[in-house]
A and B are shown apart, each in its own frame.
Chain A
Amino acid sequence: MIKATELQRNIEGKPKGWMVLLEADPKNMVEAGVSAIKFFLEKSHHGIVLSAMNSNKLLGIYSSFGLDLKKLTVIDISQNVRDLENPFEVANVVIEVNKVLRGQKKGQKRFVYLNSINDMLAAHGPESSLKFLHGILTRIRIREISGVVLATQSTIYDRVKSELEQLCDRVIKV
């Protein structure tokens, strides 16, 4: 479980566009992610969830934890993106993000949540996943949106850990 104070402390004073890498123990993965989302929702943010796992399954999990699904928009990368290295597919994800942003009231606070690196790695491998993430993080930062990237400790994750840690502003381990 991640404490709100810990997340708050890590993002304090950071300019918009900060990214936190949330490295969770596999046993705590779901709870850690849900706690991070709750943190933002309690601060009246709207969440854009980039899901590298089946979005229906993910929404089912969030619902069981009592998250307000009306405050979340899920973009299903697992279904819609076949080739992470294809710039058109990355652009399509960004188009979806832009649609969400356009539909929001002016001044609406928002965050991006990526669930999870491990699902992406399992489906697409390290090089493609890293390139995709770099592209997405750059575009999200250009739009001055902040967020959280979820990762779980594992052998597959170890191969890309350092690359991701240097791309993010803070690393929180739970």
Chain B
Amino acid sequence: MANIKQRLEGAIKKHQKGAVIMMELPAEGYFEAGSAAVKFLTGKSFGGVYVSFQRPFNNVISLLKDEGVNVNKMLFIDMATMLSGEKLVDDPRCIHLSSDVNIDDLVRAIYSSLDRIKSDKKFIFIDSLTTIALYKPLSETMRFSEFLMREVKKRSNLLIFNIAQDLKQKRFIKDIALEVDEVVSLK
């Protein structure tokens, strides 16, 4: 995973006033690659909000701890559980939203959570854009990414969109890729 660190480090240095990065990760070993990025950021004094559409909070946090990530520097928005209609766990690191969450509520929740992060350097980690599209119309998925990108620029934060390498050919992903500052592609 050395490649991820180098690529991220390069992107952060290049965009000192905040950046939007799309990480294209191999589908096999996808979670490990994403964890390596989060581990790198938390190791560089970043704190962040992890928005998980793919996996429930307990699963994400166990895996991140296994990978040696300092999860205390992060807050989690467990969209996977919320979209499945299951009950969210009672953990101060897990942000609770109503089950009929819409894009506007989600963006608001991301930014109010980010304000609670104590680190000076902050990131938002979205895992993943293609999973959002399973539940929300493409127009809403696009609106979500555009809204976040705009806000990130205002606040000089770091925004990471995770996608699986083989899904980058999807039309809406191509459209979003045109607007990000860096595409970090790992094979």
Contact = CB atoms under 8 A, between A and B. Distances in A.
B48 interface: no
A96 interface: no
Interface in B106-136: 128, 130-131, 134-135
Contacts of A166: 25, 27, 30-31, 54, 128, 164
Contacts of B130: 163
B56 A131 contact: no
A79 interface: no
A71 interface: no
Residue among A162, A165, A169 with the highest chain B CB neighbour number at 10 A = A162
A169 B30 CA distance: 8
B66 to A, nearest CB: 6
Contact of A141 (B56, B131, B135): B56
Residue among B27, B58, B83 with the highest chain A CB neighbour number at 10 A = B27
Given A91-B85, A135-B83, A165 B28 contact: yes
B81 A163 contact: no
Interface in A133-152: 134-135, 138-139, 141-142, 144
Given A15-B63, A161-B27, A166-B27, A138 B86 contact: yes
B147 to A, nearest CB: 23
Interface string B22-41: 00010110110000000000
A139 B27 contact: no
B56 A142 contact: yes
A138 B58 CA distance: 11
A174 interface: no
A142 B58 contact: yes
Nearest to B63: A15
B165 interface: yes
Interface residues on B, range: 20 to 34
Contact of A130 (B25, B59, B63, B134): B134
A162 B56 contact: no
B166 A161 contact: yes
A131 B134 contact: yes
B69 to A, nearest CB: 13
A103 interface: no
Nearest to A128: B134
Contacts of B86: 138-139, 142
B45 interface: no
A165 B27 contact: yes
Contacts of B66: 13, 15
A131 B83 CA distance: 10
A138 B55 CA distance: 6
A83 interface: no
Interface string B140-152: 0000000000000
Interface of A: 13, 15-17, 87, 90-91, 127, 130-131, 134-135, 138-139, 141-142, 144, 161-163, 165-167, 169, 171
28 contacts: A13-B66, A17-B58, A17-B59, A17-B62, A91-B85, A131-B134, A134-B134, A138-B55, A138-B56, A138-B80, A138-B81, A138-B83, A138-B84, A138-B86, A139-B84, A141-B56, A141-B59, A142-B56, A163-B130, A163-B164, A163-B167, A166-B30, A166-B31, A166-B128, A166-B164, A167-B54, A169-B31, A171-B28
